[in-house]
Chain A
Amino acid sequence: MTVTDTAPAPAPQRPGRSAGRSAYAWLRRTDTGSSTFSVLVTAVLLVVLFGAGTVRYENFGYPQVALNLLVDNAHLIVLAVGMTFVILTGGIDLSSGAVVALSTVVAASLLEKGWAAPLVIALVLAIGTLLGWAMGAAVHHLQLQPFIVTLAGMFLARGLCFVISEPSIPIRDDLFTGLAQNVVELPGNTYLTYAVVIALVVVAVAAFVLHRTRFGRTVYAIGGNEQSAGLMGLAVGRTKVAVYAISGFCSALGGLLFSLYILSGWSLHAIGMELDAIAAVVIGGTLLTGGSGLVLGSLLGVLVLGTIQSLISFDGGLSSWWTKITIGLLLLVFVVVQRVTTRRRR
């Protein structure tokens, strides 16, 4: 509209008015539909939310409060990473919460029977991966909808939970309690749990796989347009199945981290956790139609959810259900903004 549209980032001559102008110009030039931009928005939101908490509540600014966001949500981070893979291909995985519950129950019941912890961990991860692989195979080879397949997977996983054990089983294994109670000391009298370290490693590995491997590019290509990907000769079938297997693996790993967090196995653990994971992925800027998004965004999305939860618990006057309402509203804002920006891009 004005000259500033094309001017290459003009130096602010008259501060105040032209700062707004140049910000506008920058917005005009920037591709607001790009995933980098979405992640940036999420990062700004996280900083704003956390800043608001620091201003409002006097103890909110402690470094450990920020680190606790990671400590309390390590399992959700892993879950969201798996979900990101699936959503990037345009699918969805409703089974992850149930697989978390199944993992805690299997781990707790086997440990109670005296199995060796490493064996239990391996078995749990294998079960999750196998379940995910089976769902992926059903999605691809039987041409069933991901929504329905993973819904069935969710019922199956919860059903298995109840068969294994209905009451909650405490975990008393040395390795598990050791991992749960020992922490990584950080400077400034702060700490992180080992679960957080594992979760961050998962994020790093996922980012590497998505951006630096052929498999990762195929994932994005399938989300962009499955038919084109197939016509280009990419391994669509293998990748789709693998994506669900990855999500299953992440759900099982998330389940193990969750069992470290609460040291028990119960068939009613993690009800609705898949929704939190999906919400985190969406807030992190990944398009639900697939093809666009970053794992880093999902990590930030989880942290945003965690910040909302801490804000509400710090307030004390707000009841817990405000968490759900706020997350719903946030989800709404992000979905609408996504819709508007992608429409503009076309």
Chain B
Amino acid sequence: MPETPTTPRARRMVDLSSPVVWAAAALLALLLFNAVVNPGFFAVRIQDGHLFGSPVDVLKNAAPTLLIAVGMTLVIATRGIDLSVGAVLAISGAVSFTIIDGSSDPSSPATAAIAIGTALAVGLVLGVWNGFLVSVVGIQPIIATLVLMTAGRGLAMLVTDGQIITAESPAFTWLGRGYVLGLPAQVVLTLLVLLVVAALTRRTALGTLIEAVGTNPEAARLAGVRSRSITWTVYVFVAFTAAVAGLMTNANVSAADANRAGLFIELDAILAVVIGGTSLAGGRYSLTGTVLGALILQALTTTTLTMGVPDEYVRLFKAVVIIAVFLLQAPRIRAALGRRRRGARGVTSPDVPPTDAAADDVRPLTPAQAANSPTTAMPDAAPSPTDQGVLR
């Protein structure tokens, strides 16, 4: 058995108890539904060398949420949470637009560079603050970031003096509405960040270290992992993504509204992460899942809007779908689903590999056994991003 090589990817294809599979199925169902109900949904046309159409819209509108969700995934993987991203987003937008608005030459690249640089620096400082509260002072993440969530919008209003600041700058126009190789600049930037994060955490040991911190910070520290630095870093990183998202969303409308910008985006980002199958209990994360989660959320909105569902029902519809996804992910319900599958295969003991496992299932060993004995399977399971469905 063990000589049959199975990559995590091969396992993911069949592992029905993995939340990522469910998320992918949900997204697929949504898209199929669109294809049937509204055949024009997938029509992508090229105009002036740029792509237009509903799918592109979904990608573009999902970009800021996805960007923050990527940072949020890492935070949640360390068993934390960051509620302040919406406030950081608002502050970043407020700072950059106040600088452009106040400069003598708003359209010069130098002004734009200063504005962007300052906004990102402010974002980093706020992240350092959150990280300090969580990792050094030792305050519960939800409360530590609640402080900035409450005060942050006030700070943003302080910067803008309570006004909605409008400003035009070529760099910001590009950031908000520009295109790179036919794709919206926001999408390209988000993909870039996603790829860097994926490479840094999945091609090095960093991802495993983050998961170790999330599983048990104290054990990780005793094992030689710098828990404190890692925790601190993920909070700085998520604030950075929020600051970038702040530049994007405010540039998109060429205005900074301290009150409304990024309202509830922290909830959307957390939802995207959770729908993607990353447990709030920390210790495991899936970037693929987060991407799917963010796309599901946006596709849901776009679908309801293009279907002509009255505006009032969009929120209710979204809420019902989200609740359905959560219920599917509930440990008890998933355990029940898993039990039925295992029962059908007639596996009784983790020590005896199922004789027909290879026939009806590509996975020869680990996941099936893991599903049977969660306690013993934990240490030797591969740190695949998608395995947590089996283990939890």
Contact = CB atoms under 8 A, between A and B. Distances in A.
Interface stretch (B14-22, B154-162, B234-242): B154-162
A162 B310 CA distance: 10
A163 B150 contact: no
B147 A155 contact: no
Given A148-B326, A323-B154, A156 B140 contact: no
B193 interface: no
Contacts of B331: 142-144
A92 interface: yes
B27 interface: no
Contact of B150 (A159, A289, A327): A327
B150 A275 contact: yes
A282 B315 CA distance: 31
A277 B332 CA distance: 31
A339 B323 CA distance: 34
A287 to B, nearest CB: 10
B274 interface: yes
B140 A289 contact: yes
Interface string B143-184: 110111111111101100110000000000000000000000
A279 interface: yes
Interface stretch (A176-184, A185-193, A219-227, A329-337): A329-337
Interface in B107-141: 133, 137-140
A47 to B, nearest CB: 23
A301 to B, nearest CB: 13
Contacts of A152: 319, 322-323, 326
Interface residues of B, number: 47
A151 B332 CA distance: 20
A92 B83 CA distance: 14
Interface in A4-44: none
Tell me the interface secondary structure of chain A in the complex.
helix
B274 to A, nearest CB: 6
A99 to B, nearest CB: 13
B318 interface: yes
Interface string A129-163: 00000000010011111011101101110111011
B188 interface: no
Interface in B267-312: 267, 270-271, 274, 280-281, 311-312
B330 A160 contact: no
A62 interface: no
B318 A159 contact: yes
Tell me the interface secondary structure of chain B in the complex.
helix
A327 B320 contact: no
Nearest to A333: B147
B316 A145 contact: no
A322 interface: yes
A339 B139 contact: yes
Contacts of B143: 282, 288, 331, 335
B72 to A, nearest CB: 13
Given A147-B280, A163-B312, A324 B319 contact: no
Interface residues of A, number: 43
A93 to B, nearest CB: 13
B137 A325 contact: no
B33 interface: no
Nearest to A275: B150
B333 interface: yes
A166 interface: yes
Contacts of A143: 330-332
B318 A155 contact: yes
A324 to B, nearest CB: 3
B42 interface: no
A124 interface: no
A278 interface: yes
A339 B331 CA distance: 32
Contacts of B153: 321, 324
Contact of A288 (B142, B150, B270, B318): B142
Given A162-B316, A321-B158, A329-B151, 19 more contacts: A143-B332, A147-B81, A148-B326, A152-B323, A155-B315, A162-B313, A162-B314, A163-B316, A279-B146, A288-B140, A324-B154, A325-B154, A325-B155, A328-B150, A328-B151, A331-B146, A331-B147, A332-B151, A335-B144
15 contacts: A142-B330, A145-B281, A148-B280, A152-B319, A152-B323, A159-B318, A162-B313, A275-B149, A289-B140, A322-B158, A328-B150, A328-B151, A332-B151, A336-B133, A339-B137
Pairs of residues from A and B, 10 with the lowest C-beta to C-beta distance, nearest first:
A328-B151, A324-B154, A159-B316, A321-B157, A159-B315, A142-B330, A325-B154, A155-B319, A328-B150, A321-B154
